[in-house]
Amino acid sequence: MTRTAIVLRPSPGDAQTMARLAAHDISARALPLFAVHPVEWSPPEGPFDALLITSANAIRHAGAIPALPVVAVGEGSAAAARAAGFTVAITGASDGAAVAEQARAAGFTRLLHLAGRDRIALPGVTAVTVYRSEARDLPPGALEIARGQVVLLHSPRAARLFAALIDRDRVPRATIRIAALSEAVAQAAGAGWEKISIAERPDDARIVSLAAKLAIDR
């Protein structure tokens, strides 16, 4: 039996994820938990020697961005930065704190983090909010479609909300397999799932590959 993959990330990232799942011959359904909106902002006092990008949403919604090298948290953020014409100096393989430390070791000591409103503060990094993610008002029973399926979780915030909605809709966690982007995402999802697996690296291609494996009963 092949299970359907449920994609929870907001547009337009959900379309990219579903296209990758289709390339693995996995059917998918989109159920965005959040809607992303730009926030008016202005650059704080610098100078800065690099931009820290921990989500492709920062590139999509920030508007005019200083022409600085980019320190990207993962391949997805790096690809978005390159597509927008930025030079990616460093691509991380873990999380924001780890890539910020990697950047400092490489001489990028003054990082400007183009971030979402809901974020984890990073020591020694100046952050500015350039977008916000608002939870969508999903009606009771909306998460019933996840029963018996594979769910992709791209962020700790999405993981927490998904777990809360599953419990609200009384869908047994033990019927759902989880593909988590990182250890932090897996921890945010909590326990009780049929299976929860963590991508080798925090990028969309890796979590899609993981979800494709989870979608097929062995």
Using the 3D structure, point to which of 133, 151, 179 is the last residue of a domain.
133
**Are both 42 and 78 inside the same structural domain?**
yes
- Enclosing domain of residue 85: 38-133
**Are both 143 and 126 inside the same structural domain?**
no
Q: What's the pTM value of the predicted model, to 2 decimals?
A: 0.85
Q: Where are the alpha helices (DSSP H) in 36-107?
A: 56-61, 75-83, 96-105
Q: Which amino acid is at 97?
A: A
Tell me how many helices (H) and strands (E) the chain has: 7, 11
Tokens linked to 181: 């982007």
**Are both 28 and 101 inside the same structural domain?**
no
Return the C-alpha torsion angle 203, 205, 208, 212, nearest 10. Answer: -140
- How confident is the model over 95-139, as pLDDT tens digits? 888 999 999 999 999 999 999 998 888 999 999 999 999 999 999
Could you list the beta-strand ranges (E) of 17-174.
Answer: 28-30, 34-38, 50-53, 70-72, 88-91, 111-116, 126-135, 150-153
What CATH number has the domain bearing residue 182? Answer: 3.40.50.10090
Closest CA relative to residue 116, chosen from 41, 178, 44: 41
User: What is the number of domains present in the chain?
Assistant: 2
Residue of 12 and 164 predicted with greater confidence: 164
Using the 3D structure, point to which of 133, 159, 190 is the last residue of a domain.
133
**Are both 69 and 83 inside the same structural domain?**
yes
**Are both 20 and 46 inside the same structural domain?**
no
**Are both 48 and 108 inside the same structural domain?**
yes
- How confident is the model over 128-147, as pLDDT tens digits? 999 999 999 999 999 999 99
